[in-house]
Chains A and B, each alone.
Chain A
Amino acid sequence: MEEDFRKGEGRPQLLDLIPNERDWMVKDVGGGGKCFGVSEEKKLELRLGLPGGEDWPAVKEKREEHSIQSALSLGHYSKVSKTICTNPSPVGAKRGFLDTVESKTEVFQQQQPGFLQLQAKGKELSQKTNGRAEQQSLEKKACGSPAAHGSAAAPCGDGAGANNSSQTRTAPTPVVGWPPIRSFRRNLASISKPSLESQNGGPETAVKFENGRKGLFVKINMDGIPIGRKVDLKAYDSYEKLSLAVGELFQGLLAAQRDPLTAGTQKNAEQKQAITGLLDGSGEYTLVYEDDEGDRMLVGDVPWDMFVSTAKRLRVLKSSELSASSLGAVSRKRTAT
């Protein structure tokens, strides 16, 4: 049970926090679209979230109430610190944490009519997730709105984008090397899990991200976007999920390129920006990959496991360019089926 909670519900809670982070991007930076680097999807999500913060005036008001105290004036905090010292109540602390989260979501619900639409969407989406009852109830309680907001408003290839796929819904895309724990310790945790589960009777929770198995990160580039990204093939177990994640990932990037000012807001998300049809050639873009022999192949042609073991890099091409590229044998296969 507890394992379940940690694995399943831990992640929605993490998604919770991401919207708050976006807030604070706005406050600190003052509107600059800071680029924090090029590779990880998680950072990407934070960047696109900037204008999203503008939609949460309620939270901004709260911010202004707490003026910044200088570190040198320890006096103000000493009263606060006394209560902390004398009443260490862990149960309270845990509740407090959830309370904080819930109170924020309440704020969102009150202030954001547009938000409620997304909230409904979020509930819809969350029902599609795998049938973990506890997870869903927690999501509805505390995570429903922010997570929904996260998924719909900030279309990037993070766990936010994974609302549609049960597996990735529960797992945010990992940031490489975070948290900063030695591989030795990560591997340890995954080796220990079987014995834990047999004791607790929890379901098998194959933590695919950075425990035990190393993630299989491959570069992925998209036509028209100069900066590539990396995806962890081991984070997915089907072409569908990979395609969805890739779609979400570049949807955000495209939107940001086309219209940097409104990128990432809810409005954009509701417009038809979704990148679909990556696998069947029906969309504007198609997903291809380069295998270990250097051949360019259409993603989806070989069994998933073979794909994971042979794919060296991915590419999102404009479908119109497919015939021009060297997909030879593969395009023949496609027309055949």
Chain B
Amino acid sequence: MTYFPEEVVEHIFDFLATHRDRNTVSTVCKTWYRVERLSRRSVFVGNCYAVHPERVVARFPGLRSLTVKGKPHFADFNLVPHDWGGFALPWIEAAARGCPGLEELRMKRMVVSDESLELLARSFPNFKVLVLISCEGFSTDGLAAIATYCRVLRELDLQENEVEDRGPQWLSCFPDSCTSLVSLNFACLKGEVNAGSLERLVARCPNLRTLRLSRAVSVDTLSKILARAPHLVDLGTGSFTIDHRAEAYHKVMGNFIKCKSLRSLSGFWDAAPHCLPAVYPICGNLTGLNLSYAPAIQCADLIKLIRQCSKLQRLWILDCIGDKGLAVVANTCKELQELRVFPSDFYGGGIAAVTEEGLVAVSSGCPKLNSLLYFCNQMTNAALITVAKNCPHFTRFRLCILDPKKPDPVTNQPLDEGFGAIVQSCKDLRRLSLSGLLTDRVFLYIGMYAERLEMLSIAFAGDSDKGMVYVLNGCKNLRKLEIRDSPFGDAALLEDVGKYETMRSLWMSSCDVTLGGCKALAAKMPGLNVEVINEMDESDEMEENPCDLDKVEKMYVYRTVAGPRNDAPDFVWTL
């Protein structure tokens, strides 16, 4: 290979699709390293504190697409203090200095300020794609900057961010010359929307394929938009409240019929049952359906809708669908690959919740099922074993039994055997979340069978350090391990410290790990940042004299080449 001119080597590298492969070839020799880094167009940084932004930008000056992730996953559930970190600005600043050709930026769980959005908008003349997922720290003013200055913007995708509302004018900031939008998702915005601006924007963007509206958009506006953009493929409706006798209803149904390309529907905020028939005409084409924001729609109406969606591949729904509704899904949606059932009543025990029966039915009727997120009141080992047999292709299996530590209600046993069956049968399992009553045994099974497992979430499970050790010893491909409220302590933590350098991160909260244990880990492994998070006031007596024997409330460990971070707040101690 070394006899080939570099252009040829570079061309060969073009065929390497994954980041991992490209990372690997860059380690072969200096020439390859150089060729690879200069031709690299896309970089993925799984942990923003694993490497300095400047270093990334210096190594890959030709960067066009950058993806950065910030806070640990449990931040989604309020387990990470608000100002822990994960700031976008340093990344945008570094890119502005070193990669002016940047076209795409994707960020997840980061703190993005309006200032950084403005810098972003002004620094990259070719900027095309901005995707922000579960981020916070910005307002509609920041969006206004993006709209104003990104002349060739193709994608603005805001998913589940906390955005401060400073008025609807941001949408009007898209200049009349902006006709390049392909994807616009502002469903998470809470404020008012200027309907006129929205309609005009849609009208002048002939390539628009994805449009997800916020709750403030009325059905009337939706109707007009559909009339202008019948070529939409992915639609998030706005509030979708209509009186079914009104003219607006018939109009919107008429416009839906024209949308022959529509494949994915979401939104339906505030939708009431009588509104649903408006979408019946296009149900037969749908591959994706998200009704998880529509708690007013009960089982019977959901069933009527789903009966018509025979091509569905992705379904997100609330648990009011019930086991009965899931049986209908099983009978109708033979192409189903991804199912998410969210709880409508967070404390469990509601009549309308789902149980193991619904899951078994779906597994039986939908053999292509490979991704599951299922909140339920109860689960049995027998059911899980059946599901494992029916669907051996799971890559993501996340089960949340609402009541922590609930055993199998039929046998009163822990759910070790059920989950064991899942990991044994699903050889491609990459992501697993456990719940219910679990002993160390389930971790023995996971260590034994879950060879491809990359991410494992544990809560209220296990009996002793052995559990955690089984996992650390067994799962060769483990990248992220997050544990809460489980009896794992220092012995488990320190059993194999080298393991953490093969992983992206480890989170442990409300476990038995002590400050002394964390210090020992930090001492042994300088290549890791061991962060201990204490949300306590100064007057707390324990804090004034923290003792090594004290248990640590929250600990976050991650490998890094950047050393301890300099933006950590007071309550985060990097040991």
Contact = CB atoms under 8 A, between A and B. Distances in A.
A68 interface: yes
Contacts, number: 234
B317 to A, nearest CB: 13
Contact of A24 (B364, B405, B418): B405
B406 A17 contact: yes
A71 B539 contact: no
Chain A interface, >50% SS class: helix
Given A178-B404, A184-B160, A36 B323 contact: no
A185 B78 contact: no
Contacts of A290: 539
A195 B270 contact: yes
Interface in A181-213: 181-186, 188-189, 192, 195-196, 199, 207, 209-211
Interface stretch (B62-70, B176-184, B479-487): B479-487
B414 A24 contact: yes
Chain B interface, >50% SS class: loop
B323 A90 contact: yes
B404 A182 contact: no
A24 B407 contact: yes
Contacts of A66: 411-413
Contacts of B155: none
Nearest to A13: B349
A199 B296 contact: yes
A39 B385 CA distance: 35
A81 B295 contact: no
B511 A37 contact: yes
Contacts of B382: 77, 80-81, 84
A175 B292 CA distance: 23
B358 A28 contact: no
A93 interface: yes
Given A24-B412, A88-B361, A184 B188 contact: yes
A306 interface: no
A88 B357 contact: yes
Interface stretch (A2-10, A120-128, A261-269, A297-305): A2-10
A62 interface: yes
B510 A182 contact: no
A156 interface: no
Contact of A84 (B295, B349, B356, B411): B356
Contact of B345 (A6, A24, A69, A84): A6
A90 B324 contact: yes
Nearest to B445: A71
Given A13-B349, A176-B78, A189 B412 contact: no
Interface string B371-411: 00001011001110110010000000000101111110111
Contacts of A12: 349
Given A24-B437, A184-B160, A69 B357 contact: no
A180 B463 contact: no
A12 B403 CA distance: 13
B540 interface: yes
A31 B221 CA distance: 64
Interface in A157-182: 171-172, 175-182
A47 to B, nearest CB: 11
B504 to A, nearest CB: 19
A5 B347 CA distance: 12
A81 B510 contact: no
Interface in B313-328: 322-324, 326-327
A179 B346 contact: yes
B463 A34 contact: yes
A291 interface: no
Contacts of B407: 20-21, 24
B383 A46 contact: no
A179 B487 CA distance: 19
Contacts of B79: 176-177
B350 interface: yes
A335 interface: no
Interface centre among A23, A80, A214 (most CB of B within 10 A): A80
Nearest to B295: A192
A10 B357 contact: no
A214 B171 CA distance: 30
B351 A5 contact: yes
B412 A62 contact: yes
B414 to A, nearest CB: 7
Contact of A36 (B389, B424, B487): B487
A94 B479 CA distance: 39
Interface centre among B326, B382, B418 (most CB of A within 10 A): B382
Interface string A210-232: 11001000010100001010000
A214 B351 CA distance: 26
B454 interface: no
A38 interface: yes
Given A36-B460, A81-B383, A176-B78, A43 B510 contact: yes
Contact of B347 (A10, A85, A176, A177): A10
A9 B350 CA distance: 8
A97 to B, nearest CB: 7
B486 A68 contact: no
A294 to B, nearest CB: 8
B551 interface: yes
B110 interface: no
Contacts of A337: none
A70 interface: yes
B428 interface: no
B421 interface: yes
A196 to B, nearest CB: 6
A228 B295 contact: no
A33 to B, nearest CB: 11
B424 A28 contact: no
B77 A178 contact: yes
A177 to B, nearest CB: 4
B344 interface: yes
A34 B463 CA distance: 8
Contact of A74 (B389, B509, B553): B389
Nearest to A34: B487
A97 B409 contact: yes
B134 A312 contact: no
B293 interface: yes
Nearest to B398: A180
B352 interface: yes
B468 to A, nearest CB: 14
A154 to B, nearest CB: 15
Interface in B200-218: none
A313 interface: yes
B543 to A, nearest CB: 10
Given A81-B360, A81-B382, A46 B400 contact: no
A184 B457 CA distance: 20
Q: Which 8 A-B pairs have the closest CB atoms?
A: A37-B510, A13-B349, A71-B420, A177-B77, A81-B386, A10-B349, A90-B324, A90-B323
30 contacts: A2-B351, A2-B352, A5-B351, A13-B349, A16-B349, A20-B406, A21-B437, A24-B412, A28-B463, A35-B551, A37-B511, A38-B553, A63-B412, A66-B413, A71-B418, A71-B421, A71-B445, A74-B385, A81-B383, A84-B356, A90-B357, A94-B351, A97-B409, A171-B347, A177-B77, A181-B342, A184-B134, A312-B537, A313-B537, A313-B540
Interface of B: 74, 76-79, 134, 160, 162, 188, 269-270, 272, 292-293, 295-296, 322-324, 326-327, 342-352, 355-358, 360-361, 364, 375, 377-378, 381-383, 385-386, 389, 400, 402-407, 409-414, 416-418, 420-421, 424, 433, 437, 439, 445, 457, 459-460, 463, 484-487, 509-512, 536-537, 539-542, 551, 553
Given A78-B386, A97-B355, 16 more contacts: A14-B349, A16-B349, A17-B406, A21-B407, A46-B405, A71-B385, A71-B416, A74-B385, A97-B378, A179-B375, A180-B433, A180-B459, A182-B134, A195-B296, A196-B295, A228-B540
